[in-house]
Chains A and B, each alone.
Chain A
Amino acid sequence: MMLDLNSFGKFETAWCPGCGDFGILEALKDALVKLNLEPHKIVLVSGIGQAAKLPHYLYANVFNGLHGRAIPAATGIKMANNKLEVLVTSGDGDIYGEGGNHLIHAIRRNINITVIVHNNQVYALTKGQASPTSDLGYVTKVQPQGVIDEPIHPLTMSIALGAGFVARGFAGDKEHLSLMIQEGVKHRGLAVIDVLQWCVTFNKKNNFAWYKKRIYKLGPEYDSSDKTKALEKSLEWGDRIPLGIIYKNGRPSFEEAYGLPKDKALVNEEIEPGKVSLALKEFL
Chain B
Amino acid sequence: MNVDITLKIAGEAGQGLQTMGQLLAKAFSRGGWHVFANQVLQSRIRGGHNWFQIRIADSPVLAHSDATDILIALDDESVYHTRELNESSIIIFDSSLITYNPERGLILDIPFEKTAKENGGNKLMGNAVALGAVLGILEYDINILFGLLRESFQDKNPEVVQANIQTAQAGYNLARLKIESKKFPRLNKTNGVPKMLMNGSETIALGALAAGCKFISAYPMSPSTGIMTYLASKAKEFNLIVEQSEDEIASINLALGASYAGVRAMTATSGGGFALMVEGLSLSGMTETPIVIVDAQRPGPATGLPTRTAQEDLEYVIYAGGGESPRAVVAPLTIEDAFYLTAKAFNLADKYQIPVIILSDQLLADSYVTVDSFDVESLKIERHILSDEELKNIKNYKRYQITDSGISPRALPGNPYGLVVADSDEHDEEGHITEDVDWTRPEMVKKRNRKTAGLLKEMSGPIRYGPPEAKNILVGWGSSYGALKEAVDILNSEKEKVSLAHFNQVWPLPKEYFDFLDTAEFVCVAENNFRGQFAHLIAGETGKVIQNRINKFNGLPFSAVEIVREYKKLKNSL
Q: Are A266 and B419 in contact (CB under 8 A)?
A: no
CA distance A68 to B253 in the complex (A): 10
- Quick check: which of A16-24, A28-36, A175-183, A276-284 contacts chain B, the rest being far away? A276-284
Q: Are A66 and B257 in contact (CB under 8 A)?
A: no
Given contacts A56-B433, A76-B256, A102-B250, whether A276 and B198 have CB atoms under 8 Å apart is: no
CA distance A56 to B512 in the complex (A): 45
A76: contacting residue among B239, B255, B376, CB under 8 A: B255
A43: chain B residues within 8 A (beta carbon): 261, 413
A39: chain B residues within 8 A (beta carbon): 419
Given contacts A105-B245, A276-B206, whether A79 and B262 have CB atoms under 8 Å apart is: no
A81 contacts the other chain (CB 8 A): yes
B8 contacts the other chain (CB 8 A): no
For chain B residues 391-437, which have a beta carbon within 8 Å of chain A?
A: 412-416, 419-425, 431-433
A80 contacts the other chain (CB 8 A): yes
CA distance A273 to B238 in the complex (A): 9
B194 contacts the other chain (CB 8 A): yes
Q: Are B241 and A266 in contact (CB under 8 A)?
A: yes
Q: Are A273 and B211 in contact (CB under 8 A)?
A: yes
CA distance A39 to B259 in the complex (A): 20
Q: Are B423 and A77 in contact (CB under 8 A)?
A: no
A90 contacts the other chain (CB 8 A): no
B209 contacts the other chain (CB 8 A): yes
Q: Are A283 and B198 in contact (CB under 8 A)?
A: yes
Q: Are B376 and A284 in contact (CB under 8 A)?
A: no
User: Mask for A200-214, Cβ within 8 A of B = 1, else 0?
Assistant: 000000000000000
B257: chain A residues within 8 A (beta carbon): 45, 63, 65, 72-80
Q: Are B209 and A65 in contact (CB under 8 A)?
A: no
CA distance A271 to B264 in the complex (A): 10
A280: contacting residue among B196, B416, B420, CB under 8 A: B196
The interface centre, meaning the residue of B249, B257, B283 with most chain A CB atoms within 10 A of its CB, is: B257
CA distance A75 to B244 in the complex (A): 13
- A-B pair count, CB < 8 Å, reads 186
Q: Are A64 and B209 in contact (CB under 8 A)?
A: no
A139 contacts the other chain (CB 8 A): no
- B197 → chain A closest CB, angstroms: 6
- Quick check: which of B42-50, B114-122, B212-220, B494-502 contacts chain A, the rest being far away? B212-220
Closest residue on chain B to residue A45 by CB atoms: B257
Q: Are B239 and A270 in contact (CB under 8 A)?
A: yes
Q: Are A80 and B250 in contact (CB under 8 A)?
A: no
For chain A residues 243-276, which have a beta carbon within 8 Å of chain B?
A: 258, 260, 266-267, 269-276
User: Mask for B246-267, Cβ within 8 A of A = 1, else 0?
Assistant: 1101100111111111110100
- B376 → chain A closest CB, angstroms: 5
User: Mask for A97-111, Cβ within 8 A of B = 1, else 0?
Assistant: 000011011000000
Interface size range of chain B in the complex = 35 or more
CA distance A48 to B425 in the complex (A): 9
B438 contacts the other chain (CB 8 A): no
Given contacts A65-B253, A66-B424, A276-B206, whether A266 and B376 have CB atoms under 8 Å apart is: no
Given contacts A56-B433, A73-B260, whether A62 and B250 have CB atoms under 8 Å apart is: no
CA distance A105 to B374 in the complex (A): 39
- B274 → chain A closest CB, angstroms: 16
- A274 → chain B closest CB, angstroms: 7
Closest residue on chain B to residue A79 by CB atoms: B241
Q: Are B263 and A80 in contact (CB under 8 A)?
A: yes
A63: chain B residues within 8 A (beta carbon): 257, 260, 287, 422
B456 contacts the other chain (CB 8 A): no
CA distance A104 to B420 in the complex (A): 29
Given contacts A69-B280, A267-B261, whether A62 and B419 have CB atoms under 8 Å apart is: yes
B87 contacts the other chain (CB 8 A): no
- B94 → chain A closest CB, angstroms: 33
Given contacts A43-B413, A284-B195, whether A62 and B422 have CB atoms under 8 Å apart is: yes
CA distance A80 to B29 in the complex (A): 39
CA distance A61 to B257 in the complex (A): 12
The interface centre, meaning the residue of B202, B209, B412, B414 with most chain A CB atoms within 10 A of its CB, is: B414
A258: chain B residues within 8 A (beta carbon): 241
A41 contacts the other chain (CB 8 A): yes
Q: Are B381 and A280 in contact (CB under 8 A)?
A: no
A40 contacts the other chain (CB 8 A): yes
B258: contacting residue among A45, A76, A269, A283, CB under 8 A: A76
Q: Are A104 and B421 in contact (CB under 8 A)?
A: no
For chain A residues 30-62, which have a beta carbon within 8 Å of chain B?
A: 39-41, 43, 45, 48, 53, 55-56, 59-62
Closest residue on chain B to residue A64 by CB atoms: B423
**20 residue pairs A–B, Cβ–Cβ below 8 Å:** A39-B419, A56-B432, A56-B433, A60-B419, A64-B423, A65-B256, A72-B257, A75-B254, A75-B257, A77-B413, A79-B257, A84-B261, A84-B414, A101-B247, A105-B245, A260-B241, A273-B210, A273-B379, A276-B376, A280-B376
- Known A63-B287, A76-B215, A267-B214; 10 more pairs at CB < 8 Å: A43-B413, A56-B423, A61-B420, A64-B421, A64-B423, A65-B424, A74-B257, A267-B412, A271-B214, A283-B197
